[in-house]
Amino acid sequence: MNGGYIVIMEDLQRENRELREEVNRLRKGLEEKESKNKDLQEEVNKQKEEINELKEANQKLRQTIFGLKTSKKRGPPFGHKGTSRKRPDRVDTTIVLELEFKECPYCGGVLKELEDVRVR
């Protein structure tokens, strides 16, 4: 009967040794992975910094090329009643503009007779 206990004890010791070796291998693998993860995280942080620097440089170039952009809307606020100049009470000069040709000087299209005269 003692022989049976010795065999069991030797098997347990062998299994314990194998498990310790496996734990050491796993710890070593984990340390390698953590080291690689740390290196990759540092690389990601460097790339993020580079991206931010490039964004800032891009923004400066845009401002140089297109001028400073303001977020404020130009012109009167929405819903504001429009205003214009008052018409003068008297006119000092009247100028009649007439074309001497029957075609548009730009596109060559035929010009039609005016139906009404616009006064400014």
Residue 55 inside a domain? The answer is yes
15 membership: H or E segment, kind and range: helix 2-66
Q: Which domain holds residue 26?
A: 1-69
How does pLDDT run across 15-35, given as a tens digit for each residue? 999 999 999 999 999 999 999
How does pLDDT run across 42-96, given as a tens digit for each residue? 999 999 999 999 999 998 888 888 776 656 777 787 788 888 888 888 888 888 7
Residue 94 inside a domain? The answer is no
What residues have CB less than 8 Å from 109, skipping those under 6 apart?
A: 103
Task: Give the number of domains in the chain.
Answer: 1
Residue 102 inside a domain? The answer is no
Residue 78 inside a domain? The answer is no
Residue 77 inside a domain? The answer is no
Residue 76 inside a domain? The answer is no
Residue 75 inside a domain? The answer is no
Residue 50 inside a domain? The answer is yes
